[in-house]
Chain A
Amino acid sequence: MQAFTVHKGVAAPLDRANVDTDAIIPKQYLKSIKRTGFGPNAFDDWRYLDPGEPDTDNRVRRRNPDFVLNQPPFDQATILLARKNFGCGSSREHAVWALDDFGFRAVIAPSFADIFFNNSFKNGLLPVVLEEEEVDDLFQRVSAEPGLEIEVDLQSQKVRVPDGPEYRFEVDSDRRRRLLEGLDDIALTLQHADTIRAYEARRRREAPWLLQG
């Protein structure tokens, strides 16, 4: 997995609450059996004026000029500023793959939906939870000064604005360590293989119906 330590980049303000994963990557693109290539279709319904299918050439589609990620410098953004309950709905990890493929390294919001939050950590995309007022403040700063680069530091658990405030965020220690070191989750878990086997043996005695095919 791609590690995350410190990242500094342009932050794009996506000013709506409850952005769902259907909006982040519409269903027709979930037919892919790959993990890559979803970036051009991130926020597809909002980003393009023409409908799209997996085989559509996105370069010839008309862009929606009102959508923030079509507006320079936000088309180069690597940090997404969002509102509450970001990533709600479907469990599709394709939403995280699409944001990652677009170029995002972190999403800052007052809250995230649980499955999206988990999926992000598995892919080196850092979801940062700040207080609502702090997120509001960042929205205002980024809107007043488009192109403003924000720094997200997982090491010290801080979001920094140049010549501006510094906001601390919480992240649980286990997730933080895995992300800082870019560790392979499965390899780590398999270090506990004997413990898993012992658990299974006990459950087979106590409740064998749970381990039947």
Chain B
Amino acid sequence: MSGQTLYDKLWQAHVVFEEDDGTALLYIDRHLVHEVTSPQAFEGLRLAGRTPWRGDSVLAVPDHNVPTQNRAAGIADPVSRTQVETLEHNVDEFGLKFFPMRDLRQGIVHVIGPEQGATLPGMTVVCGDSHTSTHGALGALAFGIGTSEVEHVLATQCLWQKKSKSMLVKVEGDLRPGVTAKDVVLAIIGRIGTAGGNGYAIEFGGSAIRGLSIEGRMTVCNMAIEAGARAGMVAVDEKTIEYVRGRPQAPVGALFEQAAGSWRTLVSDPDAPFDKVVELDAGAIEPQVSWGTSPEMVVALSGHVPDPEKETDPVRAEGMRKALRYMGLEAGTPITEIRPDKVFIGSCTNSRIEDLRAAAAVVRGRRKAENIKLAMVVPGSGLVKQQAEAEGLDRVFLDAGFEWREPGCSMCLAMNADRLEPGERCASTSNRNFEGRQGQGGRTHLVSPALAAAAAVAGHFIEPAQLEG
């Protein structure tokens, strides 16, 4: 018998019941909840007279709508405020664990899950949010669901699922200096395309992935959905176990050691068959910048805006033309000549302490360029913010003319007050460059924290090592 993939193992351990056609009732260990995709689910529960099956599986937090400054004044937008208050009411009514807006532990749901040890290796983790794939970095099976499924998990602790196909994305070799987890995942999406992972669960492997920190692996898994895969995951190793040790919701003492023994089996067997294998040479990956309106529209920082007239597929060429029009870019322009108006460092992709350290290292002792109207840093959680301040990173950013904000999703999707104005161009460490994502008419370039910081200093895209002074 051939070996099992990590995905096979996680899947098999959670099957409660299986129909003849292979549809399985899958048990969910951890259910993360935020204010945007849950109100209708709680309402459905109430209307049917149901209560949560296992309330202690839930961790709820407001993140999408929360303001990132002057939090003492509350939420100014009444519609946003109602949504957050609705979550507060629901967690209170059903007795669910909740970090309110002013709690130090509040933050982006995908940052606080691992930070609290609410996400553990070997778990199934769901949330009404597509970036739930982030949690796969800990060797968990984690994926985003819609609101009907949020209600279903609340009511039954389970989901009906068909098993996905398995894909191994193997990145072998050493990354060049200055190339980060964000560049790796953007390069992967550029290679397989935004639909390349449709129908697959992706395991990221190879020496370059093993070489990443757990936070770096989270950045990679976070964007699995941008390649079309609901779930991304990385095998457990000693880094994973050390990351989890001592987290507030992690097991302690002998139970931790027992758990760790079980977590060490969460790797794909050497002879495990994958439905598809994609290999990338780590040494060939350059810092990446997106130029268009889909995350697959990326090029190397040293490259140029591509030319649709050279594309042979007509649907694709038309998509490129639309993207260039929207982005206000000419084919052939060197990426390093593109000048952003704003810089956003944050989001569930890149708002953890290592991201902030990487950005601060570029900014230290320098100033924001004149043409940058706003450079904002939004930590992923109150605890990340606290840690950054203990290290003096807030001073580094403030001294350089950046804004230092309170934690939340912020300008990744602009549901709160942080947004681009029509036509504004942004260097952003977030995950989506869709039309209007960061504000109607806004133009997004996806980059790593180091590249975003360098763009803020130079006023255009540039390799951090090329900065003067």
Residues of A at the B interface (CB closer than 8 Å) are 15-18, 20, 22-23, 26-28, 30-35, 45, 51, 54-55, 83-85, 88-94, 96, 111-115, 118-119, 122-123, 172-174, 185-186, 189-190, 192-193, 195-196, 199-200, 203, 207-213
Q: Which of A85, A92, A93, A199 has a CB less than 8 Å from the CB of B194?
A: A85
**A115 CA / B198 CA spacing, docked (Å):** 10
Q: Measured between C-beta atoms, what is the minimum distance from B411 to chain A in Å?
A: 11
Q: Mark B150-173, 1 if CB is under 8 A from A, else 0.
A: 011001111010101000000000
Question: Quick check: A89 and B432 within 8 Å, CB to CB?
Answer: yes
B168 to chain A, nearest CB (A): 18
Q: Given contacts A93-B37, A115-B145, A199-B16, are A33 and B43 in contact (CB under 8 A)? A: yes
9 intermolecular pairs with C-beta atoms under 8 Å apart: A17-B315, A88-B228, A93-B40, A93-B128, A113-B195, A123-B148, A196-B27, A208-B251, A212-B249
Q: Which residues of B sit under 8 angstroms from A85, Cβ to Cβ?
A: 194-195, 198, 228
Q: Which chain B residues lie closer than 8 Å to A195 at the CB level?
A: 16-17, 25
A189 to chain B, nearest CB (A): 4
Closest CB in chain A relative to B228 CB, distance in Å: 6
Contact A113 B198 (CB under 8 A): yes
Apart from A33-B40, A119-B149, what are 10 other A-B pairs with CB-CB below 8 Å?
Answer: A33-B39, A33-B43, A45-B435, A94-B147, A114-B228, A119-B147, A199-B16, A200-B157, A209-B256, A210-B120
- Complex Cα spacing A193 to B249, Å: 27
Known contacts A33-B86, A91-B130, A114-B199; is A23 also within 8 Å of B434 by CB?
yes
- Flag B279-311 by CB within 8 Å of A: 1 or 0 each: 000000000000000100000000000000000
Across-interface contacts of B72 in A (CB, < 8 A) = none
A18 lies within 8 A of B319 (CB): yes
* Selected contact of A174 from candidates B149, B160, B249, B262, CB within 8 Å: B160
Chain B: CB-nearest residue to A192:
B17
The answer to whether A22 touches B249, judged by C-beta atoms less than 8 angstroms apart, is no
Q: Which residues of B contact A174 (CB under 8 A)?
A: 19, 21, 23, 160
Looking at A20, A27, A84, A94, which has the most chain B CB atoms within 10 Å of its CB?
Answer: A27
Tell me the minimal C-beta distance from A183 to chain B in angstroms. Answer: 11
B273 at the interface (CB under 8 A from A): no
Write the chain A residue with the least CB distance to B193: A85
Residue of A nearest to B252 (CB): A209
Residues of A within 8 A of B460 (CB): none
By beta carbon, the residue of chain A nearest B413 is A27
Chain A residues, CB < 8 A from B152: 185-186, 189
Query: Closest approach, in angstroms, between the C-beta of B252 and any C-beta of chain A?
Result: 10
Chain B residue nearest to A26 (CB atoms) is B436
Taking a contact as CB atoms closer than 8 A, the residue among A51, A94, A213 that contacts B56 in the complex is A213
Question: If the complex has contacts A33-B39, A190-B155, A212-B56, are A93 and B148 also in contact, measured as CB distance less than 8 A?
Answer: yes
**A-side contacts of B228, CB under 8 Å:** 85, 88, 113-114
Interface stretch of the complex, out of B76-84, B206-214, B447-455: B76-84
Judging by beta carbons under 8 Å apart, are A189 and B130 in contact?
no
CA distance A20 to B295 in the complex (A): 11
Contact B436 A115 (CB under 8 A): no
Identity of the chain A residue whose Cβ is nearest the Cβ of B256 in the assembled complex: A209
Does B333 count as interface, using CB distance less than 8 angstroms? no
CB distance from A80 to the nearest CB of B (A): 17
Residues of B within 8 A of A192 (CB): 16-17, 25, 158
A128 to chain B, nearest CB (A): 16
Distance in angstroms between the alpha carbons of A16 and B48 in the assembled complex:
40
Which A residues are CB-close (under 8 A) to B435? 22-23, 45
From A116, which residue of chain B is reached at the shortest CB distance? B146
User: When each residue 124-139 of chain B gets 1 if its CB lies under 8 Å from chain A and 0 otherwise, what string results?
Assistant: 0000111000000000
CA distance A203 to B259 in the complex (A): 12
Interface size class of B (residues with CB under 8 A): 35 or more
In whole angstroms, what is the CA distance A30 to B83 when docked? 9
Across the interface, do A186 and B48 meet the contact criterion of CB distance under 8 Å? yes
Chain B residue nearest to A53 in the complex (CB)? B79
Closest beta carbon of chain A to B387's beta carbon, Å = 25
B residues lining the A interface (CB < 8 Å): 16-17, 19, 21, 23, 25, 27, 29, 36-37, 39-40, 43, 48, 50, 53-54, 56-57, 64-65, 77, 79-80, 82-83, 86, 97, 120, 122-123, 128-130, 144-149, 151-152, 155-158, 160, 162, 164, 194-195, 198-199, 225-226, 228-230, 249-251, 255-256, 259, 262, 294, 315-316, 318-319, 322, 413-415, 422, 432, 434-437, 440
- Evaluate contact between A26 and B27: CB separation under 8 angstroms: no
Contact A90/B130 with A31-B79, A54-B79 known, Cβ cut-off 8 Å:
yes
Closest to A95 in B: B146
Q: Nearest chain B CB to A113's CB is how many angstroms away?
A: 6
A172, B146: Cβ atoms closer than 8 Å = no
Given contact pairs A84-B195, A196-B16, A189 touches B97 in the complex (Cβ within 8 A): no
Question: Chain A residues near B123 (CB, 8 Å)?
Answer: 210
Residues of B within 8 A of A190 (CB): 155-156
**Residue of A22, A94, A111, A186 touching B437 (CB-CB under 8 A):** A22
Smallest CB separation, B275 vs chain A (Å): 15
A90 — which chain B residues lie within 8 A by C-beta?
A: 129-130, 413, 432
B194 touches A88 (CB 8 A): yes
Looking at the assembled complex, report how far the CB atom of B146 sits from the nearest CB atom of chain A, in whole angstroms. Answer: 4
Q: How many angstroms from the CA of A34 to the CA of B147 in the assembled complex?
A: 11
Task: Identify B148's interface contact among A32, A122, A193, CB under 8 A.
Answer: A122
Closest A residue by C-beta to B84:
A31
Q: Given the interface contacts A31-B79, A192-B16, does A213 sit within 8 Å of B319 by beta carbon? A: no
Q: How far is the CA of A84 from the CA of B97 in the complex (A)?
A: 40
Interface contact A114-B230, CB-CB below 8 Å: yes
Q: A90 CA to B40 CA in the complex, in Å?
A: 17
Q: Could you say which residues of chain A place their CB within 8 Å of the CB of B128?
A: 91, 93
Q: How far is the CA of A213 from the CA of B54 in the complex (A)?
A: 9
Asked whether A18 and B294 contact (CB < 8 A) given A85-B198, A114-B230, the answer is yes
B24 to nearest A CB, angstroms? Answer: 10
Whether B195 and A88, one on each chain, are in contact in the complex, defined by CB atoms closer than 8 angstroms, is yes
Alpha-carbon distance A33/B39, docked complex (angstroms): 5
